[in-house]
Amino acid sequence: MDRSFLINEIKRLKTERNACTLAHNYQVPEVQDIADIVGDSFALSRAAAKMDKEIIVFCGVRFMAESAKILSPDKKVLIPSKYAGCPLADSITAKQLEAMKSKHPGAAAVCYVNSSAEVKAISDICCTSSNAVKVVESLKEDEVLFVPDENLAGYVAEKVSGKHIIPWPGHCITHARITVKDLVKTSKEHPEAEILVHPEVSEEIRESSDFVGSTSQIIDHARKSSNTEFIIGTEIGVLHKMKKDNPDKKFYLMSPRLVCENMKMTSLESVYRCLLNMEYEVSVPENIRKKAENSLEKMLCIE
Ligand code: CIZ
């Protein structure tokens, strides 16, 4: 379908349906460009809850759209691709977390936002990659179950003293594709570049980097830094905003394999079809939604 037709139709349908489109930092450039807001998953969900729109089209993966529904129960939340999931979020079920909790009865259960609504519902508190350290520091319990990302858990364990962190052995398959060889190669090619990575990367990559942060923190850091060259160790989608924000700076992706197939399932065409056919609706059963909201709200209280 013609690109300008799709853009015009998306604009028209957004007005007609009183809808907004939110795009995660990992979305393809053209989807980011038509979005009302671009950002990380939790910032998007919070912003959507405040927007005076009846319909939220979440251009991202399922757990993100679920978070939007948890915070906006009275709005209709749609996701353009029904297959856009997250293997990291799917790596732990509520039953598995229950089993972990029974093995460690005195421990607090912290779940990263990259988790299902069911897992959020039975966690004591949620965290994002930006506030995970603060969230864990705020807990009174010395023993902490941290799910589902073992690399983020490792990063938190390094930063927080006096807590025993028990990670779930899950990881992001996209971030796991970066090797030390990739890091060494890109650093040799761009010796002046600052290395910015996401905490979902492995410990060995993190240790050889200059800055570790969430997608929004990486984007902010590049904007504020006096450096002009950066090697980026997270999904390729963030480069779009970074290049737009900093036309005089140079950005190099640490590996061409940093592409999340699930994030790339959304296109201008799928956003158009989503608005046209009002599909695919994301719902969360009310009993689960309320408990998951509680875990998210607890996190907001310590921010
Ligand atoms: O929750 C998010 O948005 C993800 C997946 C990463 C981040 O750091 O923004």
Q: pLDDT digit string (tens) for 219-249?
A: 999 999 999 999 999 999 999 999 999 999 9
The answer to whether position 288 is within a domain reads no
Q: Does 27 contact ligand 1 (Cβ within 6 A)?
A: no
Q: Nearest CA to 278 among 35, 82, 73, 33?
A: 82
The answer to whether position 303 is within a domain reads no
Total domain count, the chain:
3
pLDDT value at residue 42:
86
- Domain end call among 171, 202, 217: 171
CA of 291 to the centre of ligand 1 (A): 22
Under DSSP, is residue 155 helix (H, G, I), strand (E, B) or coil?
helix
Residues 93 and 166 grouped into a single domain = yes
> Which atom of ligand 1 is closest in space to residue 44's alpha carbon?
3
The answer to whether position 158 is within a domain reads yes
The answer to whether position 71 is within a domain reads yes
The answer to whether position 196 is within a domain reads yes
The answer to whether position 45 is within a domain reads yes
Q: Using the predicted structure, report yes or no on whether residue 193 has a pLDDT greater than 90.
A: yes
Q: pLDDT digit string (tens) for 76-134?
A: 999 999 999 999 999 999 999 999 999 999 999 999 999 999 999 999 999 999 999 99
Residues 77 and 94 grouped into a single domain = no
Give the CATH number of the domain where residue 210 resides: 3.40.50.10800
Q: pLDDT digit string (tens) for 243-286?
A: 999 999 999 999 999 999 999 999 999 999 999 999 999 999 99
Residues 79 and 12 grouped into a single domain = yes
Range of the domain at 32: 3-86+263-283
Q: pLDDT digit string (tens) for 54-75?
A: 999 999 999 999 999 999 999 9
Residues 161 and 195 grouped into a single domain = no
Residues 270, 134: Cα–Cα separation, whole Å: 37
The dihedrals phi and psi of 27, each to the nearest 5 degrees, come to: -75, 165
Residues 14 and 73 grouped into a single domain = yes
Q: Does 113 contact ligand 1 (Cβ within 6 A)?
A: yes
